[in-house]
Amino acid sequence: MFKTVLFPVDESRESRQAVETVIEVVKFHQSRLVLLSVVESNPEQPDAMASPEAVANLLQNAKSVFSQSGIEADTIEREGKPAFTICDVADEVEADLIIMGCRGLGLTTEGASDSVTNRVISLSPCPVLVVP
C-alpha cells in the first residue's frame, strides 16, 4: 500500500519519537524509505542546522538508526521553507505517505496552528501520518 515513505527529520524530540512508527510502517509495507532534512536559511536567526556538516551528520545518524533495524534509507538534503519543501519532495519521490512528529523545530511564535506539520497536512500530495 505504501511503496515510498518520506520521513522529514530534524533534531526535535518529536522526530526521534516517530522513528519507531516509521520502522513499523516501512517493515510492514516493505516500503522504500526516504529521509529528508530541510534547512531553512534565515540570516536573522542563525541556526546550527544551517551548516551543511550538521545536516549531513543528522542524516547519517538517522540512516544508521534505520540500518540497525534492517532498513536501507535514501537521504535528501534541501534548502527552503520546510512545509513547501517537504511537499515538493514528496511529489518528486512519489511518496505514498509522509510520517512526521506532531511538531518539530519549526513551531512558530504563532503556535501549533501555524506549525510545519499543519502546513504539510494542508499542502501534502499524499496522506500524512502525524506521530504524537
pLDDT at residue 63 tops 70: yes
Q: What is the pLDDT of residue 109?
A: 46
108 has pLDDT over 70: no
Decide if 71 contacts 27 (C-beta within 8 A).
Answer: yes
Domains recognised in the chain with CATH numbers: 4-131 (3.40.50.620)
Q: Binning pLDDT at 50, 70 and 90, where does residue 42 land?
A: low
d(C-alpha 70, C-alpha 102), whole Å: 25
State the pTM of this model: 0.88
Starting from the edge strand earliest in sequence, which strands make up the sheet with 73-79, in order?
Answer: 73-79, 32-39, 4-8, 97-101, 128-131
Start-to-end CA span in the chain (Å) = 23
